[in-house]
Chains A and B, each alone.
Chain A
Amino acid sequence: MSGTTGEVCAAQTTSQNGPAELSSTLNTPSYHGTLVVRVGDPTGKHVAKAKVILVGENGKIIQSGDTNPQGQWVTHLTYHADPRLSMTRPLGTTTALVFAKGYNETVVFEVPLGQSSVAPVTLTPFVLGQRNEPQATLGNLHHILVADMLDYYAAQLGIARQSVSDLPMRVPANNTAPRP
Chain B
Amino acid sequence: MRRMVPALSLLICLIALAWSASPVKAQPLQTIYNTPQPTVVRVAIRAFNNPWGPILWVQTVGFQEYCSDVLPNEWMPDWNPQALEAGALAAKMFAWYNTLHPVTHQGFTYDVDNTTNYQYFKDLSGTPQTDAAVQAVWNMAYVPPSGEILPLDYRSGWHDGPNWVFVGSTFMSQWGSQYLASVGHTFLQILNLYYPNRQLRWVS
A and B pair up: yes
Once the chains bind, are A171 and B45 in contact (CB under 8 Å)? no
- Residues in A whose Cβ lies below 8 Å from that of B185: none
**Interface size class of chain A, counting residues whose CB lies under 8 Å from the partner chain:** 20 to 34
Given contacts A42-B59, A71-B124, A142-B76, contact A171 B150 (CB under 8 A): yes
**Among B51, B73, B101, B128, contact of A142 (Cβ-Cβ < 8 Å):** B73
With a CB–CB cut-off of 8 A, which chain A residues contact B126? 118
**Of residues 114 to 156 in B, which have CB atoms within 8 Å of A's CB atoms?**
116-118, 120, 122-128, 150-151, 153, 155-156
Compute the total of residue contacts between A and B using a CB distance below 8 Å.
79
Q: How far is the CA of A143 from the CA of B117 in the complex (A)?
A: 13
Expressed in whole angstroms, the minimum distance between the Cβ of B102 and any Cβ of chain A is 12
| Interchain CB contact under 8 A, A115 and B169 | no
Q: Could you say which residues of chain A place their CB within 8 Å of the CB of B108?
A: none
Which one of B97, B156, B166 lies within 8 Å of A143 (CB-CB)?
A: B156
Q: Which residues on B sit within 8 Å (CB–CB) of A179?
A: 103, 117-118
Question: Which residues, 101 to 118 on A, are CB-close (under 8 Å) to B?
Answer: 114-116, 118
Using Cβ atoms and an 8 Å threshold, which residues of chain B touch A171?
A: 150-151, 153, 170-171
Which B residues touch A143, using CB under 8 A? 73-74, 116, 120, 156
For residue A169, which residues in chain B have a CB less than 8 angstroms away from its CB? 169
State whether the Cβ of A167 lies closer than 8 Å to any Cβ in chain B.
Answer: yes
What is the bound-complex CA distance between A170 and B170, given in angstroms? 7
> Size of chain B's interface in residues, with CB distance under 8 A?
42
What 0/1 readout, one digit per residue, does chain A (5-24) give for beta carbons within 8 Å of chain B? 00000000000000000000
Provide the main secondary structure of the chain A interface: loop
CB of A129 within 8 A of chain B? no
CA distance A122 to B57 in the complex (A): 12
Interface membership of B99, Cβ < 8 A:
no
For the complex, is A29 an interface residue (Cβ under 8 Å from B)?
no
Residues of A within 8 A of B78 (CB): 89, 114-116
A144 CA / B120 CA spacing, docked (Å): 12
Which residues of A, 12-56, contact B by the 8 Å Cβ criterion? 38-40, 42-44, 46
Residues of the A chain whose Cβ atoms lie less than 8 Å from the Cβ of B77: 116
| B45 nearest CB across to chain A (Å) | 7
Residue in B101, B103, B123, B128 with the greatest tally of chain A CB atoms within 10 Å: B123
Query: CB of B7 within 8 A of chain A?
Result: no
Within 8 A of B (CB), among A158-180: 166-171, 175-176, 179-180
**14 chain-A/chain-B pairs, Cβ below 8 angstroms:** A44-B60, A89-B78, A118-B124, A120-B69, A120-B123, A120-B125, A140-B125, A142-B73, A166-B155, A167-B155, A167-B165, A168-B169, A171-B151, A180-B52
